[in-house]
Amino acid sequence: MAIRTIFFGTPAFALPTLRILQEHPAIDLRGVVTRPDRPAGRGKALQPPPVKLLAHDLGLDLIQPETLKDPAIVEWLRQRSPDVVVVVAYGAFIPKAVRAVPPFGCVNLHPSRLPRYRGAAPIQWTLINGETSTANTTMYLSDGWDDGDIIYQEEEPVRPEDTAGSLAERLAEKGAHLVLRSLTDIAAGTAPRIPQNEAEATFAPQIKNEDARIDWNRPAREIHNRIRGLNPEPGAFTFCQGERWKILRSEVIEDETASPPGAIVCTEFNTIRVAAREGILEILELQPAGKKAMTAAAYLRGRPLPPGATCETA
């Protein structure tokens, strides 16, 4: 018999799991919970989350509660008699009253090698910290943040060209299959429960504005990894000659320079190279404030930088 399932999720990262749950005959998907529509863009018009759009396309029963503490949410769940709740990037803590409804509990997909990188931004911090591998983890939700028992873990290499966007896309697709495996094994009574080692726990907090500002007093390799980890959102940024640049792609030049950190050391051959504390960072793609993303060559054609130009240190 198919396992009765309710899905909680909000952003694009959750879409592959929602699709696979809807399509697979072993899953009886009985409803979807997502976050409310939020203002977005310059006009601040209300925008539906990606999960809402897909749920509507699939003809699924959907609710968008302002808070999961509303007793009506528990009643809505009970009416649908789920065996299990699946949570993928819902964006809010799942309270105990909700977790108590399904007899098999709440299963979460977390894109890190738990207990490393618990928290809101595991993919971003994995790249910012220069990790060369990561993982998807399925786990049971508990009273804490990402500290429940592990079901399965699947390793994933971090490629040198990866950004947060490309790595998230890969982990989302592979994670959907890991969730499906977890649910079918839970239903069969063969899924493991592996306690996390608290001594190995690290945290990946939500990205703040100060995390996105480039500090040219850091080594070029660290700056490059920060740019990767914050692409596409929110984007690592710097100020050059008073203009705000979001840096989207970069490359590390191992050469050393006597120029101070932040100094633009080369604009020849349609390149923008900036001195760091160690090494030089070549900016390949940037987005000036109020403009579209462009290559360094395109920027220089429209606005050549004067001799002695600098980027502000954080």
pLDDT tens-digit series, residues 58-79: 999 999 999 999 999 999 999 9
pLDDT at 254: 85
What's the N-to-C CA distance of the chain in angstroms? 58
Name the average pLDDT for the chain. Answer: 96
Of 99-113, 279-293, 297-311, which range is least confident? Answer: 297-311
In this prediction, what percent of the chain has a pLDDT beyond 90? 91
What is the mean predicted confidence (pLDDT) over 261-273? 91
What is the mean predicted confidence (pLDDT) over 161-186? 98
272 contacts 237 by C-beta, under 8 angstroms = no
pLDDT higher than threshold 90 for residue 299:
yes
Cβ partners under 8 Å of residue 206, min gap 6: 119, 120, 121
The conformation of residue 304, written as its DSSP 8-state character, comes to P
What is the mean predicted confidence (pLDDT) over 142-161? 97
pLDDT tens-digit series, residues 78-95: 999 999 999 999 999 999
Report which of 245, 237, 297, 287 is spatially closest to residue 266, judged by C-alpha positions: 297
Split at pLDDT 50, 70, 90, the class of 188 is very high
Q: How far apart are CA 1 and CA 180, in angstroms?
A: 15
pLDDT higher than threshold 80 for residue 236:
yes
Element housing 166 (H / E) = helix 164-188
The structural domains of the chain, ordered by start, are 3-200 (3.40.50.170), 209-302 (3.10.25.10)
pTM of the model: 0.95
241 contacts 268 by C-beta, under 8 angstroms = no
Split at pLDDT 50, 70, 90, the class of 256 is confident
pLDDT tens-digit series, residues 204-231: 999 999 999 999 999 999 999 999 999 9
Q: How far apart are CA 227 and CA 277, in angstroms?
A: 16
Report which of 93, 91, 109, 128 is spatially closest to residue 171, judged by C-alpha positions: 109
pLDDT at 270: 86
Q: How far apart are CA 103 and CA 270, in angstroms?
A: 61
pLDDT at 267: 84
